[in-house]
Amino acid sequence: MSALAVDAGVELSARPERVVLRLFLPGESTPGGDTRTEAVLRRVSAMRPSDIAAEAMAILDRFSPRHPDLTAMLRANAEVVLPADAPPLDDHRATVIGAVFSAEYAVEAAALCNPSIVEHPDQSSLSPGEFRVLLSLRSIGEGHISSIQFCEAIIGPDRTWSFLPRSETLSSPVIGEAIWTVEHFARALRHSGGTGETTRAVVQSLPRTFSASMFEDAVHGLRSPLLHQEGARDELNRMRIAVDSAYGVEFSPADPLSGRVLFPVADEERRGMEDVRLVEISDADGPRYRGTFTAYDGHSIASRVFTTDDFRRFEVHRLTGEPARTKGMALFPRRFDGEWLALSRADGESTGIARSANGLDWSRQTAIHSPSELWEVVQTGNCGSPLETPAGWLVLTHGVGPMRSYSIGAILLDLEDPTRVIGMLDRPLIEPTDAIGGYVPNVVYTCGGIIHEGVLWIPHGVADQRIRVASVMLAPLLAEMTG
């Protein structure tokens, strides 16, 4: 670390024993035969009731400590695979069938890294001088699939930091519909490959705001010739993928915040949700918090956003426009003359600023900072949303240099015209000197810092493996950047 940054002496490490329960389907069978699901169901159905009862008790005894709602979760998975005309299941058989078609997934089996941070919505029950913060975490599990978790920490007096204990169990949310506007939906369709006559007819029949079920109503109301013209099926499939890319998420009020997991749902997220950049929005209207993140489908990346007021209920939406085709968008906490601004990767290696009227459809990138120093000579980009200070917008940056080493630096933008860089630290704030061993060596990376009582706090991933925290006195940092 530079002389400005001080390590807080705390570390958060991955815990592979923390698992979620997911539906498991064994796959296809040979052509012309039953599916493997049908074959497995037949085998379980042939078991004697006494054996089923004994197995059910053994399953509950073994796995209930990790899944408080295990019985209900297993019954739900059993009902997914049963034929529609199957007779009702007794509790023992529902437990066994559900377990056969379930699997545990360790969301942080490989690594825990790249935190972001905002003020916690609950500041009650604190001692004098304490400040509670909320962090998003990137969890990496089997198959290099990333999901989003959360944790809490207390910033105390005398420049101290304490991570609060994380929940022993993880919770999966209920997935529901999100609300689209016609304008955003039309842009999303153009963004994903164009439109045709079927698309035009559906869009014209939609109300100004609509859900996935209302979209299906519009499709069913189309005249038959439109549904049978060449290319109509492909258009409908593309529209359904777009509609389903936005969704709602709701956790139970009883689920502790550090036990909540956002796992990939939409097609474009199927291989991971990476590197959330949290921001608390100061505008009076709309959700209090937003989190932009990178989605990966196994072939391409895209920037997406979730919104929430309480980190229990979320809406997740697709972003559109050229800036959304890249990684690492980070929102400014307030609008400028009614317009949203976001830091973006303007050309794949430089930091830029993108603009939007609604926070969803983005355009007009302006490059503001390109690689110049050796430690960032390969590429540079933001490390989270800008932080407002009297001297300007403080932006933490990442730079990639020799040996593909990632370091954390800082630039300063003009308060009224953020496209103007008015200061830059001439060396990294945090370097990967102690990040040799890990999931990805020689990397320190953050997705956001926070300023509290004159101190800049920077939680950061180390070697894409674990999380540490650094603090920087704000005044000396700004003096070096503007002097």
* Domains observed in the chain: 5-16+107-174+247-482 (2.115.10.20), 19-106 (no CATH), 179-244 (no CATH)
* Mean pLDDT by groups of 10 residues along the chain of 483 residues: 89 95 81 77 92 97 94 95 90 96 96 97 95 98 95 96 96 94 92 80 94 94 80 89 95 96 95 97 85 94 95 96 91 94 88 94 90 94 97 97 96 96 95 84 97 97 95 96 79
Q: Looking at residue 192, what is its pLDDT?
A: 75
Instruction: State the pLDDT at residue 213.
Output: 95
Predicted structure pTM score: 0.93
Q: For residues 115 and 137, what is the distance between their CA atoms, to the nearest angstrom?
A: 5
